[in-house]
Each structure stands twice: as C-alpha cells, then as structure tokens.
Amino acid sequence: MAHTELELDSVDFITIGTVGPKGRRQFYLQGGTSTEVISLTIEKEQARAVAESLSELLDDLLRRNPQLSGDTSDMVKLNMELRDPIEPRFRVGQFGVGYNPDRDMILIEAIELLGLSSLQQDDDTTADTEQPSVVRFWVTRPQLRALCVHTQNVVRQGRVDPQSNGRMLYYWT
C-alpha cells in the first residue's frame, strides 16, 4: 500500500467495534466526519491497551487541570456503533497520543503495521523508502471518554475464557 497521511481535524465520531462471532471477532478503530469514514484494523489487545491508556490520560488531565469540566453526561447521546462501509485502510501497528491544551483536543495517531515481507526484501532501496501510512483523529474529551468506556465493554464481550484464544482445550479427568 502506498504511504498516505490522513488527518480528521475534529471527528464527528470515534469508536472501536467488532465484526464476527466470539472467538473470531475482527476489531476496528473507526472515526469520521459527515463526509468521510476511516476504518482501521486493530487487535483486541490493542483495543484494551488504548482504552486503558486514554482513560489514564483523561484522568491525568483532570488532575492537572481542575478547571476542565469532567462532565460526561453527553456520552449517552453518542452513537458508538461502527458505520458502513467497514473497509479498513490498514492494520495498525502503533498508536501515538497527544493533547493540545489551547484547543482542549486529543490527538490519536494510528500508524500502519508494515509486513515482514516488505522488510526482508533483497532490494534495500524499496525497503528503505517504504513508510507506514498514518491516520490522525482529533477528538474531544467527552468523545474520548465515551470511546474508553465503550471499548472496555466491547473487549469484555468476548469469550468467557479468553485464555483459550480460539483454541480447542481438552480436559482429562
């Protein structure tokens, strides 16, 4: 895939959701505006880690800046369902997060996971010039809090025994 950089400077929505049955769910990070929807493939553990990290960031912002409103009553109005079409641009390998205090907005940066095959090519010039694609979502604190709460619920909806990780377990007595 060719290197692209997309920035949605102030999204109308941001969510993490799944498609598929338990044990084979595919996780997506999705954000967009009224005219553009961007879907990215992520792993379940990435979803969990992102929700925990962003929740800690929000809590830290409120501790450091008591004048910020911690009101999240608007969260119940947010639609946290995935939007169609769900056509992922790429699989996320790394996340970055930032905060702009002047705008009171949080940046979520998703960086493409480059495949091992592209890193092990004989042609060093191709491997050296390949750069990951990047998508940046600018979100409000209430949107981010809703994302964290929703994502924690989505992750918990998995298999009863997540240690089985989709493998058959045999027990002998």
Residue 142 or 171, more confident: 142
Average pLDDT of every residue of the chain: 85
Higher pLDDT, 72 or 143: 143
Q: Can you give the C-alpha Rg of the chain in angstroms?
A: 18
What does the pLDDT read at residue 116?
Answer: 54
Choose between 115 and 20: higher pLDDT.
20
Provide the pLDDT for residue 73: 57
The DSSP symbol for 104 reads T
Share of residues in the chain with pLDDT > 90 (%): 66
Mean pLDDT of 136-164: 85
The pLDDT, as a whole number, for residue 118 is 47
Q: What is the DSSP string of 27-91?
A: EEEEEE-SS-EEEEEE-HHHHHHHHHHHHHHHHHHHHH-TTS----GGGGGS--SPPSP--EEEE
The better pLDDT of the pair 88, 161 is held by 88
Q: Which pLDDT score, from 0 to 100, does residue 70 have? A: 64
What does the pLDDT read at residue 67?
83
pLDDT reading at 149 higher than 90: yes
DSSP 151: H
Q: Which helix (H) or strand (E) holds 14?
A: strand 13-19
